[in-house]
């Protein structure tokens, strides 16, 4: 409520020395006093209302500030040598706000690629203190910190645009990439480096890979289910049973899963996260989702979702991550999309007391999954389409192969006294750990390479990798077949570098 009370000047008060006007002035002054009392009451009421309104707005502003700070995951002032930022965190440095896009212990000035500016402003740097300016072309200011007059030596403008809605330029919608909110790698199922379709036997030891980043979970039991797992044009993964198993026994399981590296998810320890995904299947009913804690070596409480109709449908579940997640290169969290599981798997791959479908009870069934996203918070947001080139770099941290087997390796050489071929492979992206190297000849024979000498191609020379690091490796062949001492030429072939979890 605004304050709208107007106070008028009082009339001339009555006086005993002015008997003629005493009564008239007395009446006028009394009326004024009565009016003043009413105005004072109104005034005090408006003052109290104003105080309440100000307090309410203050509380609202504080609440809004707290919410804003929470939303940007603000951590405070970044101190070089002390602070360490994780993806999604916001920090201030040199008077500006930044959001971390790549885990780093370096500040935004020394390592700008790991940060996204959130502030819009100008930064003026001055290094020369002067008592006056030399000429009209110079510019200076009074530095209130050092209490000296300074000449401007250079200025740096730092600018980061902020968009609301869907900004556009020349009719094209702009969609700036602002960092990784999705902790799943290749949630769009775009990368199938080894094959776009495989035959998966869901009984055996280990969890083989179906696509480059997605595995299928199985157990060494009597389960006889077999399926074709294949890529869906436009992005997606399809499971099509080819051998049915209608009677599950103890330990049987069939899942599609991804293992997450500790370095990438340690910041999520103890936090609420949301897993969202799109499913299309003709096998209706309840499906389970299992979560394995690779630090605590135990399953978390599983979740389930219900498919009630055929057709692409978006689902989401929220849960709390383990309170402790080791930050290292090991697999520290597995997410299982359960397709079939015996009752013995209740409490791990589907909730206790629930009954889930068996996708493998008929070879007519199918299961398709698209756009898997794991993000911080309790609300599922729109799937993040990471630029393909960036996502491929994330994938190649775990697996890389040459695009064909007709590759000239660098550094081919021949010693002066023996027949020996050697070369170097430098990986496009540093690997998670020391990878397993498989070499291929031009014809695709594993464990061999070819040698292009002067005028001749010598094929299928037995070869091996050595001095393997996360960044590169050497390859060599000591085979003498068809070689002459000192012969010059090039090593030819292909390779796979596998550092997956």
Confidence class of residue 424 from pLDDT cuts 50, 70 and 90? confident
**pLDDT digits 0-9 by tens, 76-96:** 899 988 899 998 888 888 878
Going from the N-terminus, what domains does the chain have, and what CATH number goes with each?
121-158 (no CATH), 197-395 (2.60.120.260), 398-498 (2.60.40)
pLDDT reported for residue 155: 42
More confident residue, 129 or 490: 490
Using only C-alpha atoms, the chain has a radius of gyration, in whole angstroms, of: 36
pLDDT reported for residue 149: 62
Residue 345 C-alpha from the chain's centroid: 30
The answer on pLDDT for 135 being more than 80 is: no
Given a contact cutoff of 8 angstroms between Cβ atoms, the answer to whether 261 and 331 are in contact is yes
pLDDT reported for residue 480: 66
Q: For residue 241, give the nearest of 202, 280, 294, 299 by alpha carbon.
A: 202
The answer on pLDDT for 501 being more than 60 is: yes
Confidence class of residue 18 from pLDDT cuts 50, 70 and 90? confident
More confident residue, 445 or 40: 445
pLDDT reported for residue 350: 98
The answer on pLDDT for 479 being more than 60 is: yes
b/e per residue 107-117 (b: at least 16 CB within 10 A)? bbeeeeebbbb
The answer on pLDDT for 477 being more than 90 is: no
The answer on pLDDT for 210 being more than 90 is: yes
pLDDT reported for residue 67: 54
pLDDT averaged over the chain? 83
**pLDDT digits 0-9 by tens, 91-127:** 888 878 888 888 999 988 888 888 888 754 444 444 4
Cα separation, 43 vs 38, in Å, equals 9
DSSP per-residue letters across 84-133 = -B-TT-EEEETTEEEEESS-BSS-TTT-GGGEEE---EEEEE--EE-SS-
The answer on pLDDT for 455 being more than 70 is: no
Q: For residue 95, give the nearest of 122, 69, 71 by alpha carbon.
A: 122
């Amino acid at each position: 409520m605004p304050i709208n009370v107007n106070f008028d000047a009082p009339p001339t008060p009555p006086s005993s020395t002015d008997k003629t006007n005493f009564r008239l002035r007395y009446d006028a002054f009394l009326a004024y006093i009565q009016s003043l009392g009413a105005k004072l009451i109104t005034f005090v009421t408006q003052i109290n209302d104003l105080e309440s309104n100000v307090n309410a707005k203050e509380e609202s502003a504080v609440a809004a500030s707290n919410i804003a700070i929470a939303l940007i995951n603000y951590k405070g002032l970044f101190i070089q040598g002390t602070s360490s930022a994780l993806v999604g965190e916001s920090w201030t440095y040199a008077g500006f706000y930044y959001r971390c896009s790549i885990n780093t212990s370096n500040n935004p000035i020394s390592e700008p690629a790991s940060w996204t500016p959130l502030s819009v402003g100008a930064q003026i740097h001055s290094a020369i203190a002067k008592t006056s300016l030399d000429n009209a072309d110079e510019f200076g200011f009074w530095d209130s910190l050092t209490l000296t007059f300074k000449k401007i030596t250079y200025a740096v403008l730092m600018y980061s645009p902020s968009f609301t809605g869907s900004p556009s330029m020349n009719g094209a919608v702009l969609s700036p990439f602002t960092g990784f909110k999705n902790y799943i790698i290749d949630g769009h199922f775009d990368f199938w480096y080894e094959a776009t379709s495989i035959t998966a036997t869901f009984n055996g030891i280990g969890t083989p890979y179906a696509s480059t980043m997605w595995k299928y979970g199985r157990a060494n039991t009597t389960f006889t289910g077999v399926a074709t797992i294949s890529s869906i044009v436009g992005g997606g993964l399809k499971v099509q049973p080819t051998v049915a198993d209608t009677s599950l026994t103890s330990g049987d399981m069939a899942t599609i899963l991804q293992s997450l590296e500790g370095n990438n998810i340690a910041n999520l320890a103890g936090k609420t996260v949301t897993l969202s995904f799109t499913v299309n299947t003709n096998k209706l009913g309840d499906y389970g989702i299992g979560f394995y804690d690779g630090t605590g070596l135990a399953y978390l409480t599983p979740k389930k979702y219900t498919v009630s109709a055929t057709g692409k449908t978006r689902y989401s579940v929220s849960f709390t991550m383990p309170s402790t997640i080791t930050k290292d290169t090991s697999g520290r969290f597995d997410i299982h999309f359960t397709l079939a599981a015996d009752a013995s798997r209740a409490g791990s791959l589907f909730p206790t007391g629930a009954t889930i479908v068996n996708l493998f009870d008929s070879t007519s069934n199918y299961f398709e999954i698209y756009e898997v996203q794991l993000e911080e918070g309790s609300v599922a947001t729109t799937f993040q389409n990471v630029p393909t080139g960036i996502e491929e770099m994330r994938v190649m941290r775990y697996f890389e192969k040459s695009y064909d087997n007709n590759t000239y390796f660098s550094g081919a050489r021949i010693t002066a006294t023996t027949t020996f071929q050697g070369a170097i492979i430098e990986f496009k992206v540093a690997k998670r750990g020391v990878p397993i190297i498989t070499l291929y000849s031009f014809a695709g024979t594993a464990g061999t390479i070819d040698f292009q000498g002067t005028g001749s191609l010598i094929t299928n020379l037995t070869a091996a990798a050595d001095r393997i690091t996360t960044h590169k490796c050497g390859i060599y062949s000591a085979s003498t077949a068809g070689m002459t001492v000192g012969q010059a030429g090039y090593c030819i072939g292909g390779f796979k570098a596998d550092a997956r979890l």
